[in-house]
Amino acid sequence: MQKYFAVFTIVLLLVMIISRVFILKRQGIKAMNFGNTDKTDFLFFPFILFYFYLIFANTFGWPSVGKWLLFRREILSWAGVFLCVSGLALLLWCLISFRKSFRVGIDLNHSDELITTGIFAYSRNPIYVSFGIILIGQFFIYPNWIMLIYFAAGILLFHRQVIREEDFLKKHYGKKYIDYCRRVRRYI
């Protein structure tokens, strides 16, 4: 049963983000800016699609690699479900808190207000925290070496993106962002 939560998490995550992008697009806001500042960002899409395939393949018995499990504990699998649901709830709170400032990637051409309320009063990068929680949850559901590699690589890539975004925000908002950084932690 837990494996279906892994698929449900991927589907709901995509629905939430794509819905927000289209809602903002109807309001005249270009929320999809991924790859605008660094064209190599598009190299991540094949890896993301392969990750989605792994989740679906493990759930529905499709051909896959890395089926050898590192451990198998029912309680950890249920903990993974809890983490996936928690990550989705956090993502929803992020999307609500973002209001019209939500962007996928760095938007160099559109300045919005700096969001420091809602979940952003507790974490400067709660979306990446939610993605990390979901990745660890899915690793607990499917504890194989490929999912472990994806978790580790995901954390490194999220951190890389956070550093890039923070550099942009320091230049864009200046002292206001620096003061915000002093008050609120980067992650948790």
* pLDDT, tens digit (0-9, with 9 covering 90-100), for 30-65: 888 776 666 677 777 888 999 999 999 999 999 988
pLDDT bin (cut points 50, 70, 90) of residue 67 is confident
Cβ burial of 45 (10 Å; 0-12, 13-18, 19+) is exposed
pLDDT tens digits, residue range 161-184? 999 999 999 999 999 999 999 999
pLDDT of res. 111: 67
Question: What does pTM read for this prediction?
Answer: 0.93
Residue tagged 């709901």 (tokens): 12
Which of 63-77, 101-115, 117-131 has the highest average model confidence (pLDDT)? 117-131
pLDDT of res. 5: 96
Comparing 167 with 110, the larger pLDDT belongs to: 167
**Cα–Cα distance, 119 to 67 (Å, whole number):** 37
65 secondary structure, DSSP code: S
For 147, the token pair is: 């999912």
Mean pLDDT of 128-153: 96
pLDDT of res. 106: 75
Q: In the Cβ-directed half-sphere of 102, how many Cα atoms lie within 13 Å?
A: 24
pLDDT tens digits, residue range 95-107? 999 988 888 877 7
Domains of the chain in start order, with CATH, are 2-183 (1.20.120.1630)
pLDDT of res. 37: 65
Q: CA nearest 118: which of 93, 87, 100, 101?
A: 93
